Structure 1
Amino acid sequence: MKRVLVIDDDRTVRMLLKVILKKAGYDVVECANGKTSLKKAESFKPDLILLDLMLPDINGLQLLETFTSKENLKDVPIIVLTGSTDEENKLTALRSGAVDFITKPFLSEEVLLRVRTQLRIHSLIHSLQEAVEKLQDDVAAAAKIQKALVPVSTPQGFRDRVNWIYEPSYNVGGDIFDFIKLNDEKELIYLADVAGHGVKAAMLSVIFHRFVEDYVENIKNQGEKLELSKLIRALEDNFKFDKFDLFITTVAVVIDRKNMRIEIGNAGHPSPFFMKKKDRKTFFVNDPVESMLGLGLVEGKTKVLEINRGDRIYLFTDGVIEVVNSSGTQFGLENLKKNLEKNIWSKLEESVKDLFNEVKTYKNGEHFEDDVTIIGIEFTG
């Protein structure tokens, strides 16, 4: 039963409103002045208040402001009762937080219509607030799960230098990556980006992470060697767009320390940046770049590059190059290339950090709309 508090110094008006509302099934409590109404409101905990603007001991507008300033009463809808000539008071009341007004003299149908309408609106707002809070809890939980899967340190036995920065957007995003030791001579690094934000994108990135983990573990248990092209085709077969309704891009690198080479596969992801330290040659590995996963277009093509001690490769998501400054211009590949080239002799950690800082400065320190992930790998030979 909804509770209504009636505050009016006119006993006839109070009785009339009480009869109208009780007959409609409401629990009604009445007050004749402002002094007792505040205590009554705090103990009765009304769902709605009918407040006369002309009270003997306090101005009704002042009482209205008191109600709306109280933490435990500020969300209670207040309908003011006012004389037909109080037009300015009506407007002032609405500006001060009242949700509606009833003009005296009134009809019982009007009272019930306005009360029911405001209680329904208040109920809808409350339901919406609960839904938003639940969604925020879900998003926070999804972000926590996703973040737990992002490496916090280089895995034990991983022999090449690796450094990274992962900066989630203000929305939960879909960047996920991992470093997996295949054997004493080979290591796998992958970076994936699920398009979109929210719980759905975050959970799909978690599923992606688990799939790669299980795939590699099964290969090891069967005593087989990982073939990068087969892994990419398996991802293509298992992450169909029509199943998840989200696009996924990924780039994966297998480091072969014994033969001093790397194998790269790319399904719709921004091309990695490869840096030959000895002769200071730098280039984007644009071949191969296949379609994003799940459209039936990925064949599992890979490319092999020779490496030497000190060479580096940088993986990154499109959140880096698509950052937009105040003038609407994207950071882009050329700015990324220039930044990495100027840090060719810097330590790997410093080069990754400097790139991230430049991207953040480009964004004027504002929150990123998309996840920003940068991974630097230096081959130790």
Structure 2
Amino acid sequence: MADQLTGRILIIDDSEHNRYLLTRQLERRGHSIATASHGRQGLEYAQREPFDVILLDLMMPEMDGFTVLDQLKRNPQTHHIPVIVISAINEIDDVVRCIEAGAEDYLTKPFNQTLLYAKINACLERKRLRDSEQAYLNAIRYELELGRRTQADFLPTSLPHLTGWEITAAFVPAREVAGDFYDAFLLPDQRLVCFLGDVCDKGVGAALFMALTRSLLRAFIEQAATNGTDPLRAVAMTNEYIARHHRANRTFSTIFCIMFEPQSDLARYVNAGHPEPLIIRADGSVSHLITTGPAVGWIADARFTIETTTLRAGDILFAYTDGVTEARTRNGEMFGEGRLLSTITTAYKQTLRLDVIQQAVMMYTGQPQPVDDLTMLAVCRCRTD
């Protein structure tokens, strides 16, 4: 025999006799009982105190059971409480109406004691299961929120300020935790380093891999600068570490890393399998920064070449993850580079408004949240005139 469950039960019935009878029977089973003589009073009790089950009469003055049930199910505080409708045998059509409106079960008058206990026990079991599931979901939400906060610590809290330069970034995760990352910082000799990456997966696994990749890349860049070697070699060093020690995960990341000489027009970069960043020239022409090696973490001993470009007054570097161009409408049409370039033209007002691009992408998809992480990084070389 199953263990007898006990709970807090609210009886809403205008019949004093029914309230007395039900209270006496249920208290013998160890339940805690509260009673209400009409619907309005029952609603007030349900909103004020926690209950495990509600026994609800249909025919009552002031507010009938249909109205009470409707308001209970509309209220987020009470919609999860199981409701057992109390009815006369000739009210079976009304019972069906209540079941369709969300009632858990029904009892007919006069009450059969065995059925009464069985129905309440069944409701309590379902309520306990629902409460356990809700507690589990709340724990998961808490862990994800903690993960989101922790991951946020891996992203820069502020971007470098350089006279004659403007650096902006936008980061819109598709879930609580993301696989995209970016950074921008100054080396001790005042060279500016920016990088942006995208882990191939989504969710918690991608977020953990993102934290590893971003931390390794930043650490190797700073180490190389301190040792007097080329900071862009950090991409290859990150690849070697991951490919040798984490290859079993079969996870990789595309990375674009660029280093500027702020006192000149020169910039050097590595593009490890990343969507080709754009340089929008002051004259309106567009250059692509080509791929110079494979994605990071996939192939040990991979070769990454370093390419050069320039960023002159009025030019803009725009790097992004594929969540921008591969954002899709409901029928599968991609945003694409053509729309991106058109939007950039609209978004350029002395500097590049990344919020305008983000809004254009979201309006195009018609979705409240992106399906894939959406990350952008812009470096503008300000005009001197």
Scaled by the length of structure 1, the TM-score of the pair is 0.77
CA distance, structure 1, for counterparts of residue 62 and residue 340 of structure 2: 70
Shift of 1:150: 3.7
Deviations 1:56-80 (A, max 9, x none): 7864434445655677655432101
Cα contact 2:56–2:86 (8 A) shared by 1: yes
Q: Which residue of 1 aligns with 2:181?
A: 176
Cα contact 2:9–2:54 (8 A) shared by 1: yes
Query: Helix, strand or coil: the match of 2:135?
Result: helix
Q: Which residue of 1 aligns with 2:291?
A: 287
Q: Which residue of 1 aligns with 2:81?
A: 76
Moved more, 81-90 or 201-210: 201-210
User: What amino acid is aligned across from residue 301 of structure 1 in structure 2?
Assistant: F
User: What amino acid is aligned across from residue 238 of structure 1 in structure 2?
Assistant: I
Cα contact 2:220–2:237 (8 A) shared by 1: no
Shift of 1:118: 1.6
Of the three residues 369, 374, 377, the one matched with 1:375 is 377
Q: Which residue of 2 aligns with 1:15?
A: 21
Could you say if the C-alpha distance between residues 152 and 119 of structure 1 is closer, same or farther in structure 2, counting changes exceeding 3 Å? same
Could you say if the C-alpha distance between residues 281 and 15 of structure 1 is closer, same or farther in structure 2, counting changes exceeding 3 Å? closer
Cα contact 1:170–1:368 (8 A) shared by 2: yes
Q: Which residue of 2 aligns with 1:123?
A: 128
Of the three residues 230, 233, 255, the one matched with 2:260 is 255
Could you say if the C-alpha distance between residues 376 and 325 of structure 1 is closer, same or farther in structure 2, counting changes exceeding 3 Å? same
Could you say if the C-alpha distance between residues 42 and 288 of structure 1 is closer, same or farther in structure 2, counting changes exceeding 3 Å? closer
CA distance, structure 2, for counterparts of residue 62 and residue 351 of structure 1: 52
Query: Helix, strand or coil: the match of 1:86?
Result: helix
Cα contact 1:169–1:368 (8 A) shared by 2: yes
Aligned residue runs from structure 1 range 193-272, under 5 A = 193-221=198-226, 223-238=227-242, 246-256=251-261, 261-272=266-277
Query: Helix, strand or coil: the match of 1:370?
Result: coil
Scaled by the length of structure 2, the TM-score of the pair is 0.77
Moved more, 29-38 or 46-55: 29-38
Could you say if the C-alpha distance between residues 161 and 93 of structure 1 is closer, same or farther in structure 2, counting changes exceeding 3 Å? same
Work out whether 1:102 is the aligned partner of 2:104: no
Shift of 1:190: 0.6
Q: Which residue of 1 aligns with 2:319?
A: 315
CA distance, structure 2, for counterparts of residue 43 and residue 355 of structure 1: 47
Could you say if the C-alpha distance between residues 325 and 236 of structure 1 is closer, same or farther in structure 2, counting changes exceeding 3 Å? farther
Shift of 1:90: 0.1
What are structure 1's unaligned runs of at least 5 residues? Answer: none
Moved more, 3-12 or 116-125: 3-12
Deviations 1:107-166 (A, max 9, x none): 44433332222222222223333333343344444434444554454325x567243341
Could you say if the C-alpha distance between residues 184 and 46 of structure 1 is closer, same or farther in structure 2, counting changes exceeding 3 Å? closer
CA distance, structure 2, for counterparts of residue 347 and residue 182 of structure 1: 29
Cα contact 1:174–1:202 (8 A) shared by 2: yes
Of the three residues 324, 328, 347, the one matched with 1:324 is 328
Could you say if the C-alpha distance between residues 183 and 32 of structure 1 is closer, same or farther in structure 2, counting changes exceeding 3 Å? closer
Cα contact 2:271–2:289 (8 A) shared by 1: no
Work out whether 1:273 is the aligned partner of 2:278: yes
Aligned residue runs from structure 1 range 14-163, under 5 A = 15=21, 18-19=24-25, 21-22=26-27, 24-28=29-33, 45-55=50-60, 59-65=64-70, 73-105=78-110, 107-151=112-156, 153-156=158-161, 158=162, 161-163=165-167
Of the three residues 354, 361, 364, the one matched with 1:359 is 361
Shift of 1:358: 4.2
Fraction of identical pairs, as percent:
21
Q: Which residue of 2 aligns with 1:166?
A: 170
Shift of 1:38: 6.0
Work out whether 1:349 is the aligned partner of 2:351: yes
Shift of 1:210: 3.0
Q: Which residue of 1 aligns with 2:3?
A: none
Shift of 1:348: 5.7
Cα contact 2:352–2:380 (8 A) shared by 1: no
CA distance, structure 1, for counterparts of residue 337 and residue 21 of structure 2: 75
What are structure 2's unaligned runs of at least 5 residues? Answer: 1-5
Moved more, 242-251 or 66-75: 66-75
Q: Which residue of 2 aligns with 1:192?
A: 197
CA distance, structure 2, for counterparts of residue 42 and residue 365 of structure 1: 35
